[in-house]
Amino acid sequence: MIDKILRFGARLVLAHVMAAILVCPALLSVASAASIPDAARASIPPPDLEARSWVLMDFNTGWILAENEADLRIEPASLSKLMTAYVVFDRLKQGALKLDDQVHISETAWRTGGSRMFVKVNSNVLLEDLLKGLIVQSGNDAAVALAEHVAGSEPGFAELMNQYAAKLGLSNSRFQNSTGLPNPEHYSTARDLSVLAASLIREFPDYYRIYSIREFEYNGISQRNRNKLLWRDESVDGVKTGHTNAAGYCLIGSAQRDGMRLVATITGAKSPRYRTNAVHSLLKHGFAAYESRLIYGDTTAATEIDVYYGETDKLPVGVGRNLHVTVPRGSFDKLKAEIVVNEMQLAPIVQAQPVGNLTLSYAGAVLDEYPLVALNGIPEGAWWKRLLDKARLWIR
């Protein structure tokens, strides 16, 4: 794998072809939802869609593979409930909530219009059932009940939604309620909603499974999930529909095949059928045009470098995280990496200490640069080991 190692005293440069690396897929956080570098863009064009805005995102890299009006401010309708769920999921993860919590249904929640799961006023409902009602049935009554349970009031919960939006970097989103019912100051974009959906999938995989439930019955009423892709394509496992007269028909869908996950977002479609077909077309395009591989795991050594004055002489170094790259299908032989270590490495060394950089290029064009870190620590060696290393350095 390693073609060349330069002698100590100059920079350490390692070059190798990434197509030779075959490891199991894992997740990498979405950083900025930036467009895929032009050099790695597939020659196959995306579908021509009639929608207000749309985005096709690669989940593992966070790269936008195709888009139209990704940053156009739109009314998110019930796609807003992704943030409602995100807040509740995070509180569950922290232990502040439990799935078997009994949630009181206020008259305000009971009277909320639009889509409903038909909870009864002044009853107590399991939080888990409310989550299913929120996600499967898109119940506005469930959304308000959850908001009141978490924050005491829906306006208070909306402030929590905005705090989480800021942490996720959703700079073009603002939430005024938990339901997505129309409000002039309640807005988002296809890009922000794609990041939100990807973050929800990544951070809460156990709770995300609720999005694959096709049908949920509560209070004697059975309702089907409005995401029809769950019946059409077995690789689709979520996520959410939305609709108001002003927003049009919206849908975010996610699918996973062979370790590659895509997130497709459509807003402002003309009908439920069209939004389903459009998202499916985007997903099919992404899987046909691109492939994704994990080239380094979080504990995978890119190489070993010499260390002096330590208990050991060799230090495994890598990117310290799961690093995926997505390129046009069938072209991984064009992907290369260069590792540069700029300084002599002297113990003691702590784990995650920066030691250099790794630069990825595709077809000769730089894709990105990543910090190279120590994968473990090396304490200072005994006096006799340090003496030997002084001799090693003198000889070199």
How many domains does the chain contain in total?
A: 2
Check residue 389 and give its pLDDT.
Answer: 61
Whole-angstrom distance, CA of residue 8 vs CA of residue 329: 38
8-state DSSP, 36: P
Would you say residue 2 lies in a domain? no
Residues 18 and 56 in one domain: no
User: Residue 262's closest CA among 63, 56, 68, 61?
Assistant: 56
- Of 275, 290, 305, which one is at a domain's C-terminal end? 290
For strand 215-218 and strand 248-257, is the pairing parallel, antiparallel, or unpaired?
unpaired
In contact, 378 and 349? CB cutoff 8 Å: yes
8-state DSSP, 114: S
Residues 68 and 103 in one domain: yes
Q: Hey, what are 41's tokens?
A: 């863009």
Does the global pTM surpass 0.75? yes
Widest CA span in the chain: 84
Would you say residue 3 lies in a domain? no
Residues 208 and 342 in one domain: no
CATH number reported for the structural domain that contains residue 390 in this entry: 2.60.410.10
DSSP 3-state of 356? strand
Would you say residue 95 lies in a domain? yes
Residues 229 and 252 in one domain: yes
Residues tagged active-site = 78, 81, 138
Phi and psi at residue 354, to the nearest 5°: -65, 135
Check residue 105 and give its pLDDT.
Answer: 97
Check residue 273 and give its pLDDT.
Answer: 97
Residues 149 and 246 in one domain: yes
- Of 243, 266, 290, which one is at a domain's C-terminal end? 290
Dihedral angle over CA of 11, 17, 21, 25, nearest 10: 90
The residue written with tokens 């992907």 in the block is 335
Residues 347 and 247 in one domain: no
Check residue 307 and give its pLDDT.
Answer: 80
The residue written with tokens 């309620």 in the block is 177
- 280: exposed, middle or buried (C-beta count within 10 Å: 0-12, 13-18, 19+)? buried
- Show the domain range for 326: 12-23+297-395
CATH number reported for the structural domain that contains residue 53 in this entry: 3.40.710.10
Would you say residue 4 lies in a domain? no
Would you say residue 78 lies in a domain? yes
Residues 217 and 315 in one domain: no
- 75-87: b (≥16 Cβ within 10 Å) or e: bbbbbbbbbbbbb
Phi and psi at residue 9, to the nearest 5°: 115, -25
Which residues make Cβ contacts (< 8 Å) with residue 364, sequence separation at least 6? 39
Would you say residue 171 lies in a domain? yes
- Of 267, 290, 313, which one is at a domain's C-terminal end? 290
Check residue 28 and give its pLDDT.
Answer: 36
Would you say residue 154 lies in a domain? yes
Residues 89 and 218 in one domain: yes
Which segments of the chain have a pLDDT < 50?
1-31
Would you say residue 360 lies in a domain? yes
Residues 17 and 134 in one domain: no
Which residues make Cβ contacts (< 8 Å) with residue 220, sequence separation at least 6? none
Residues 64 and 147 in one domain: yes
Residues 198 and 242 in one domain: yes
Check residue 8 and give its pLDDT.
Answer: 24
Check residue 14 and give its pLDDT.
Answer: 39
In contact, 25 and 259? CB cutoff 8 Å: yes
Element (H, E) at 102: strand 102-104
Residues 284 and 360 in one domain: no
Element (H, E) at 376: none
In contact, 305 and 34? CB cutoff 8 Å: no
Check residue 24 and give its pLDDT.
Answer: 30
